[in-house]
């Protein structure tokens, strides 16, 4: 008979309970298998009251791969493909890949630099996906990349509490051990581990080239530096703080950036970024925005 826990939330009381250890023992009785990993994921979904679960692999020098997904939310489902095609380049978890490659539990508040709800990245990407908060169990894939088990809540719910995050951190060693042992069998074609193709690698290099060289040829060094912050969704106040310049100075530079990029808002930067990713090809070290603008002008 399956052991069920009386309490719903993943609190300290639950993870210290005999019922919880019995349930973990039941899940892992046969060792770490695909079934036990999915069973453990199901427990996390219920105990943390989440609406979306994704298991992603971030191979070294290649695009992320979806190993297992249950968005359970139509907006989230619609944006997973967008994420894999290029949105990931601006994801705060991806931008902290060095941090996320270490085993443990990483929350959204661990990887953002300010009030995330007021950032443009949140407004453009999280809100469009219908999300309010996210946490990720992270570990190395043993091949130079890392794995994320992402758990998200949708708008209308509360953010993860400090107690819930503490409970998740307490069981992170077990979750990441299971994840690192089973990820190769979690892909849709369980007969083989997901392979990184040359096309995947080139697509990733193209996206990274766009992120690192976007606007470089048409902007001054300071404007380019500020644009990189804007791409991360940072506010004017945070940019001024990071660069140790006046807020009014940042606003002047931002106005010039908008003019040169032919846009009118920070939200349009994300849209333009993705249009450039889709509308150009990989040319190492070049500014794809300049090529995109020239081709648009000819059209």
Range 166-193 average pLDDT: 81
Where exactly are the structural domains of the chain?
A: 12-185, 198-294
Percent of the chain with pLDDT over 70: 84
Q: Residue 105: what are its φ and ψ, rounded to 5°?
A: -105, 125
CATH for 12-185, options being 3.40.630.30, 3.30.365.10, 3.30.565.10, 3.30.450.80: 3.30.450.80
Contacts 24+ apart (CB under 8 A), 240-248: 242/113
CB neighbours (10 Å) of residue 64?
A: 20
82 vs 157 pLDDT, higher one: 157
pLDDT at 190: 47
Tokens of 27: 């899940």
Max CA separation in the chain (angstroms): 69
> The domain at 198-294 falls in which architecture?
Orthogonal Bundle (1.10)
Range 17-25 average pLDDT: 80
User: Three-state SS string across 148-184, please?
Assistant: EEEEEEEECECCCCHHHHHHHHHHHHHHHHHHHHHHH
pLDDT band per the 50, 70, 90 thresholds, residue 124: low
Residue indicated by tokens 């309010």? 132
pLDDT at 1: 43
Range 73-79 average pLDDT: 55
> Mapping DSSP to helix (H, G, I), strand (E, B) and coil, where does residue 140 land?
strand
How many residues would you count in the chain? 299
State pLDDT tens for residues 183-201. 988 876 544 556 667 777 8
Contact 79, 105 (CB under 8 A): no
> Mapping DSSP to helix (H, G, I), strand (E, B) and coil, where does residue 147 land?
strand
Range 38-47 average pLDDT: 88
Range 145-171 average pLDDT: 89
pLDDT band per the 50, 70, 90 thresholds, residue 182: very high
CB neighbours (10 Å) of residue 237?
A: 12
Sign of CA dihedral 190, 193, 199, 203: positive
Average pLDDT, the chain: 83
Percent of the chain with pLDDT over 90: 26
Beta strand 52-58 pairing with 104-107: unpaired
Range 142-171 average pLDDT: 89
Q: Find the range with the poorest average confidence among 201-210, 218-227, 242-251.
A: 201-210
């Amino acid at each position: 008979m399956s052991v069920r826990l009386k309490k719903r939330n993943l609190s300290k009381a639950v993870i210290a309970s005999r019922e919880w250890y019995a349930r973990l023992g039941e899940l892992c009785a046969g060792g770490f298998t695909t079934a036990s990993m999915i069973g453990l994921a199901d427990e996390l979904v219920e105990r943390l009251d989440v609406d979306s679960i994704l298991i992603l692999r971030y191979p070294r020098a290649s695009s992320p791969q979806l190993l297992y997904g249950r968005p359970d939310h139509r907006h989230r489902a619609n944006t997973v493909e967008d994420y894999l095609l290029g949105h990931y380049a601006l994801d705060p978890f991806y931008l902290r890949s060095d941090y996320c490659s270490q085993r443990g539990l990483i929350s959204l508040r661990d990887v953002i630099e300010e009030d995330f709800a007021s950032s443009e990245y949140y407004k453009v990407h999280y809100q469009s996906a219908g999300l309010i908060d996210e946490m990720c169990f992270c570990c190395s894939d043993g091949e130079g990349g890392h794995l994320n088990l992402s758990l998200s809540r949708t708008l209308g719910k509360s953010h993860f509490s400090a107690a819930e995050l503490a409970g998740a951190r307490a069981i992170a060693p077990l979750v990441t051990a299971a994840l690192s042992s089973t990820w190769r069998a979690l892909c849709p074609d369980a007969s083989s581990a997901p392979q990184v193709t040359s096309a995947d690698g080139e697509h990733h290099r193209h996206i990274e080239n766009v992120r690192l060289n976007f606007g470089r040829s048409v902007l001054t060094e300071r404007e380019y530096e500020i644009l990189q912050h804007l791409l991360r969704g940072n506010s004017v106040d945070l940019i001024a703080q990071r660069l140790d310049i006046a807020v009014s100075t940042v606003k002047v530079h931002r106005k010039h950036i908008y003019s040169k990029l032919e846009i009118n808002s920070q939200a349009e930067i994300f849209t333009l970024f993705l249009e450039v990713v889709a509308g150009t090809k990989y040319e190492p070290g070049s500014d794809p925005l300049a090529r995109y603008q020239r081709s648009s002008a000819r059209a």
